Amino acid sequence: MKYLLMMTCFLAAYVFLPQTGNAATISVKSGRTALIVNLVGWDKRCRSTGYAHVVLLKKPRHGRATIRRGGRYPIPAKTSMGKAGKCLGKRIRGVGVFYRSNRNFRGRDSVRFKARAGNGKRYYTYKANVYVR
């Protein structure tokens, strides 16, 4: 079974962030909890292949990051393994990374974490730059 690990960032639409450690830029409202990243894996039948293992490496200075397993997220058009094909837009269980700034904070923050597919051995490092408005 082929496992796909992908990451999407939520702005107005879902955007792919490659597995190269590049940073995503996310804009969020102060004091509100926002999904900044989700990771899903699926098979050829568009079924979830399990949860990614996610570990926070650098907590945000001006807020809180949480990892939630079990949410349902759509499969995006672009993935780390190519196009989603027939699975595009289908919602499957995955892992979300959420951010909430400290009350009345405005400015820049960031979150770093590593993730691997459920049964994978290799971790990929990601960074989300958060602009709180």
Domain boundaries, the chain: 6-132
pLDDT at 123: 86
Across the chain, how many H-helices and E-strands are there? 0, 11
pLDDT at 83: 64
Identify the segments of the chain with pLDDT beneath 70: 1-23, 77-83, 118
pLDDT at 27: 93
**Strand pairing partners for 5?**
none
6-132 carries CATH number 2.130.10: no
pTM: 0.75
Q: Give the 3-state secondary structure of residue 13.
A: coil
Here the tokens at position 83 are: 């196009």
Pick from 124, 116, 123: which is nearest to 95 by CA? Answer: 116
Cα torsion at 43, 10, 121, 23 (round to 10°)?
Answer: 140
Q: Alpha-carbon distance 101 to 58, whole Å? A: 15
